[in-house]
Amino acid sequence: MTDQLRLMAVHAHPDDESSKGAATMAKYISDGVDVLVATCTGGERGSVLNPKLQGDPYIEENIHEVRAREMDLAREILGVKQAWLGFVDSGLPEGDPLPPLPEGCFALQDVEEAAGALVRLVREFRPHVMTTYDENGGYPHPDHIMTHKISMVAFEAAGDPDRYPDAGEPWTPLKLYYNQGFNRPRTLALHEALLARGMESPYGEWLERWETFNRREHQLTTRVPCGDFFEIRDKALLAHATQIDPDGPWFHVPMEIQKEVWPTEDYELAKSRVDTSLPEDDLFAGIDGAR
């Protein structure tokens, strides 16, 4: 394969690309890989999570435009390309019983129809590797689960000329990964490292609640060394100012501990059309032209 390697990361909302796999993307950019983030929704129904910005009437009235500007800044920091798929944020329903999802939102779209937008983008960008969320969405947000669903359809359909015939020239991506950055081994390792140094850990409650998440245990097939790019990841995260509290738990673990204890971002190989040996340290392992 003589052309440039290409990676597509499919995410539900602006800010997801910076909290899931951002250092990996920055590493691959530095290696000369072409990277595109596909953002399914505009984050229109996202809450302002940064307490310093809560109550600002301009932000609350213009959240869609504000989050788009934040995405532009994060994209520049990471060095990636980015495309909007144009779906409307579903919001995160809360309560018991849960309220119905808003009419017209992403999570209520027909999966096959909604996947057409992603198929078109896959055929335009022609990625060798795609990343997305697992069947639980990483966590059970309806937009994350829908992102998983359309990613699976697009991975299978993009190379089939009989499917979505009006969505461009067929292209067959070779590998599909699930983001698994928030895994228990990593969380436990960082938690224990902090306690061993006499420091407080933000992960104690997470670990106590882990068993209540009712999720299957995922295999970490692929650990990409990217500790040198954690600072870029954090800058991209902070660009999403409405979503990230700079004094929040994202930043409680000192950088030197992160790099020493867990200097990778982690993935589960879900689909592969090439031969590869597990475990891997490269999303492009087994693909001609990989480093």
pLDDT tens by residue, 231-254: 999 999 999 999 999 988 889 999
Residues 47-71 pLDDT 10s = 899 999 999 999 999 999 999 999 9
Residue 135 inside a domain? The answer is yes
Q: Does residue 289 belong to any structural domain of this protein?
A: no
Structural domain harbouring 30 = 6-182+219-272
Q: How confident is the model at residue 290 (pLDDT cuts 50, 70, 90)?
A: low
Identify whether 210 is part of a domain.
Answer: no
Which residues are bridge partners to 179 per DSSP? Answer: 267
Instruction: Specify if 60 maps to a domain.
Output: yes
Predicted pLDDT of residue 108: 98
Residue 166 lies in a domain: yes
Answer yes or no: is 278 within a domain. no
Q: Is residue 189 part of a domain?
A: no
Total residues found in the chain within this entry: 291
Asked whether residue 13 is marked as a ligand-binding residue, the answer is yes
**pLDDT tens readout for residues 157-216:** 999 999 999 999 999 999 999 999 989 999 999 999 999 999 999 998 888 887 666 566
Residue 129 inside a domain? The answer is yes
**What is the predicted pLDDT for the residue at 1?**
41
Counting the structural domains of the chain, the total is 1
144 is in an annotated binding site: yes
What does each C-alpha distance from 70 to 36, 57, 63, 242 come to in angstroms? 17, 17, 10, 8
Task: Please determine, for residue 217, whether its predicted confidence score (pLDDT) is greater than 90.
Answer: no
Instruction: Specify which residues 271 forms β-bridges with.
Output: 176
Residue 150: burial class (beta carbons within 10 Å; 0-12, 13-18, 19+): buried
Neighbouring C-beta atoms of residue 117, cutoff 10 Å = 21
Q: What is the pLDDT of residues 95-137, one digit of tens each?
A: 778 889 999 999 999 999 999 999 999 999 999 999 999 999 8
Domain containing 150 — which CATH number? 3.40.50.10320
Indicate the pTM of the whole model. 0.95
Instruction: Examine the pLDDT at 84 and tell me if it is beyond 70.
Output: yes
